[in-house]
Chains A and B, each alone.
Chain A
Amino acid sequence: MSSIQLQSRLPRTYKIIDIKQATENVRIYTFDGSLGAKPGQFVMAWVPGVDEVPLSVAYDDGANIQLAFFAVGDCTEALARMGEGDLVGLRGPFGTYYEWEPGQHIALVAGGYGAAPMFFVASESVHHGTTIEVIVGARSKEHLLFLEELESLPHVALHVATNDGSMGFEGFNVTVLENMLKLTQDSKTEDPAIDQVFACGPEVMLKATHSVCAKYNVPCQLSMERYMKCGYGLCGNCVMDPLGIRMCTEGPVVKGEVLAKLDEFGKYHRDSIGKKNEF
């Protein structure tokens, strides 16, 4: 009867079996189970007695799921205080995921802990013969994530941008993307054209990515973040104006042509009671 893919909507608690402190604020937890997540999907992570929040999936190989999070609120701070063997409730996976065709040349734009799902995309898509340009950006060198892991993958070229120039290009990762698209579209160069751009990071970065992709007429898929409660399309907390589509179900990965119709993209988001907050 259900037209929805199989997902768990009742949290099960899993044990944390490995903890990696990736940067000062970002931790990566590996759990003793898999939710069968695809790159770009999210799960709801429940810290018993505290709260439950959406977290992006850094990796899921069918045996273990890995989540990356930034300790920034009550729930993620409580999560950050947990240790190996502690229990976290997980349900999902929820939402749309990044989609590619075999053999495509794809540029990945990762801002901050958005590098986690981009690593998942890169590691999965190279099995399908894709060639990847991944542009990891952060404020400074110590906030960069997944560089070693990305570099170790075959057919993945790593580009780095930092706002302060402490590593790689000094400036924004989107500028690196623009230079890349400009170059690959120049008929005199032999660089192969970029077929698609995927991005995950702060909304201001996504908005800039969207504009650059529109300018060079390259399709893009971007991962949106909105306040979520149920995770599977019931509560309506994560809808975007004016289409009213749900970022937990019709998102979080949204295609560029749909984002072009979402007026609130890059302008405002709604809080837990539905009030608008400007970016």
Chain B
Amino acid sequence: MNLSQKVYGVTFQNPTVLASGIMGITASSWRFCVENGAGGITTKSLWLTEHMGHPNPTIISTEHWSLNAVGLPDAGVEKAVQEVGDYLKNKPAPLIGNVVAGSIEDFGKTAEHIAKLKPDFLEVNISCPNVEDEFGKPFACSAPDAAAVTKHIKQVSGDIPVFIKLSPNVNNIGAIALACAEQGADGFTAINTVGPGMAIDLRSRMPILANKVGGLSGPAIKPIAVKCIADVYAATEGKLPIIGTGGVYTGEDALELMLAGATLIGIGTAVGDRGIDVFKKVCDEMQYWCTNEGVEHVSDMVGAMHKELASRS
């Protein structure tokens, strides 16, 4: 039973990838995730210049969901160059450089800087719901805006494949993906966090997050992730790879997202609940299920729901 996945010539030993924003602050923390089974790493969102996040509380959770409004803190491209450079010198697994900006122009500048470091892929965060106060509605909420960012980034990213990270908080994620694909997007990450949502403390009657609202993640959002991935896969006719992210805790969760169309699987919130070795656990569980069910290569699962539906129609 083989778990490896090859995407644009890059081999991932297994489909699990550390999702952006989790454990993503230093080269040493990325290595720690790979030692614990991650098949690939996504950096946290990198800004052109220093960007302060929100005050605490920034991350809260129950066993069913997590809300975060960390606010994308980052020391800017200069530090990113150090950390990414350190990791790439002797990289144990592929690296996806995630970039964020408040304007199309800054997206281009940041992507250009990061592309020069030669990460395996670029991931473009046009969908964070936690910085709306600063930047207004995310680019991912409108097909023309998402397409414009994609077009601009493709002009500066050279031969690094560009993955656009999509928002689930829209009613036309497939159309938005298609608009990005028409401008040259090489793949998608679906989904970013849901909502935003809010949690209120009863005794103090105050919203708990300092930002009041935060992106919803964790087990509660998996069905939304599955549906969005299926929509993106269908809209792009399964031609572009998807990093499926959202509520993956177990090997069966990962396989379900693959059936919807994911080639790689982002894992984030589960790191807090199942431990840093969640990557290894998810892989062991995928291996176990596939072996029992006679699936020889995990890539046979990618988009298989669509094929099954087609075969029955």
Residues of A within 8 A of B (CB): 1-4, 9-13, 44, 46, 48-53, 87, 89, 91, 229-230, 232-237, 239-246, 249, 270, 272-275
Contact = CB atoms under 8 A, between A and B. Distances in A.
A272 B57 CA distance: 13
Given A234-B272, A274-B75, A2 B63 contact: yes
B312 interface: no
B238 interface: no
Nearest to B57: A52
B276 to A, nearest CB: 7
B137 interface: no
Interface string B72-91: 01110001000100000000
B56 A235 contact: no
Contact of A46 (B56, B62, B63): B56
Q: Give the interface SS of chain B, mostly helix, strand, loop or mixed.
A: loop
A234 B51 contact: no
B204 interface: yes
Contacts of A51: 55-56, 210
A273 B208 contact: no
B: interface residue count bin: 35 or more
A53 B201 CA distance: 17
Contacts of B28: 239-244
A234 B23 contact: yes
Given A243-B28, A244-B28, A52 B203 contact: no
Contacts of B73: 272-274
Contact of B74 (A9, A49, A239, A274): A274
Contacts of B75: 273-275
Nearest to A229: B58
Nearest to B208: A11
A234 B276 contact: no
A80 to B, nearest CB: 17
Contacts of B27: 244
A236 B22 contact: yes
B25 A89 contact: no
A89 B201 contact: yes
B60 interface: yes
A87 B25 contact: no
A46 B21 CA distance: 22
Given A44-B56, A235-B70, A10 B249 contact: no
Interface in B182-203: 199, 201-203
A169 to B, nearest CB: 39
Contact of A229 (B33, B56, B275): B56
Nearest to B65: A10
B84 to A, nearest CB: 12
Given A273-B52, A274-B75, A236 B204 contact: no
Contacts of A274: 25-26, 73-75, 79, 83
Chain B CB within 10 Å — which of A2, A10, A232, A270 has the most?
Answer: A10
Question: Which 9 pairs of residues, A with B, have the shortest CB-CB distance?
Answer: A244-B32, A52-B56, A244-B28, A236-B23, A230-B59, A244-B29, A48-B206, A13-B203, A239-B29
